[in-house]
């Protein structure tokens, strides 16, 4: 497994994954170096927010500096059947597939979500059922802690590559409430990013606490 420029505040196992003992310490270190971005509670509350991108509104940016994002990094878990070659489109990210955590290709959504939570990884999948599973369990508060984002891709490698390439080139911009965000922010604030549609990405919050922290940081930067 090839990892890209992701600096961890702890050690990894031989296959490149964070040791379970240091996963929490790594998250704490990121919280200290990127104030507020991870300060979320464990309460999972459903949110009905579904703001369509305001393409013609003045766009503002909420992002850490490139140097800081590179230093902190973030991690991705590709769902079964999602090519890990897509990692190159996620700047400063480290990636892994379910088998790296001892899961089979037929692993249930529950097992994949559990691994993503434990290792603070953003899930990248082309399976709409994963989104349905996450939202249903959030509504029932069955998830014991927040996720670190979920990305839903179209089916087919050519379409997946095309959509992600458009985002990388900023031909298609990730934004929420007229604020331009980046993959790091989707990971930090637990956003759901749907890029199945060729027209424009749809960004919505996955939890109330992540959205609250996002808005708190906007106020700190005088963007709200």
Which pLDDT belongs to residue 122? 95
d(Cα 128, Cα 125) in Å, to the nearest integer? 8
Longest dimension (CA), the chain: 48
Question: Residues 71-99: pLDDT tens digits?
Answer: 677 999 999 889 989 999 998 899 999 99
- pTM value? 0.70
Range with lowest mean pLDDT among 30-34, 51-55, 188-192, 204-208 = 30-34
CB neighbour burial string for 58-74, b if at least 16 within 10 angstroms, e if fewer = eeeebebeeeebbbbbb
Q: Is the pLDDT reported for residue 28 higher than 80? A: no
Which pLDDT belongs to residue 6? 33
Which pLDDT belongs to residue 71? 66
Average predicted confidence (pLDDT) for the chain: 74
Question: Residues 165-178: pLDDT tens digits?
Answer: 999 998 999 999 88
Determine contact, residues 122/75, Cβ cutoff 8 Å: yes
Which pLDDT belongs to residue 1? 32
Determine contact, residues 111/105, Cβ cutoff 8 Å: no
Percent of the chain with pLDDT over 70: 65
Nearest to 37 by CA among 203, 178, 174, 211: 211
Query: Where are the domains positioned within the chain?
Result: 20-41+52-220
């Amino acid at each position: 497994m090839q990892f890209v420029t992701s600096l961890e505040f702890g050690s990894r196992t031989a296959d490149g994954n964070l040791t379970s003992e240091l996963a929490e310490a790594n998250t704490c270190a990121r919280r200290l170096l990127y104030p507020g971005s991870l300060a979320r509670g464990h309460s999972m509350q459903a949110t009905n927010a579904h703001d369509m991108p305001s393409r013609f509104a003045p766009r503002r940016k909420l992002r850490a500096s490139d140097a800081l994002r590179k230093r902190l990094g973030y991690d991705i878990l590709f769902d079964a059947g999602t090519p890990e070659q897509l990692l190159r489109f996620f700047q400063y990210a480290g990636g892994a597939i379910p088998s790296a955590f001892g899961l089979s290709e037929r692993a249930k959504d529950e097992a994949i979500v559990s691994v993503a939570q434990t290792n603070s990884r953003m899930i990248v999948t082309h399976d709409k059922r994963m989104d349905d599973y996450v939202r249903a369990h959030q509504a029932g508060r069955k998830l014991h802690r927040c996720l670190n984002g979920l990305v839903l891709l179209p089916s087919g490698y050519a379409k997946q590559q095309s959509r992600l390439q458009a985002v990388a080139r900023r031909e298609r911009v990730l934004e929420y409430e007229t604020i331009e965000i980046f993959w790091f922010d989707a990971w930090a604030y637990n956003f759901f990013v749907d890029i199945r549609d060729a027209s424009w990405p749809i960004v919505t919050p996955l939890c109330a606490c992540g959205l609250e922290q996002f808005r708190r940081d906007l106020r700190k930067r005088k963007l709200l």
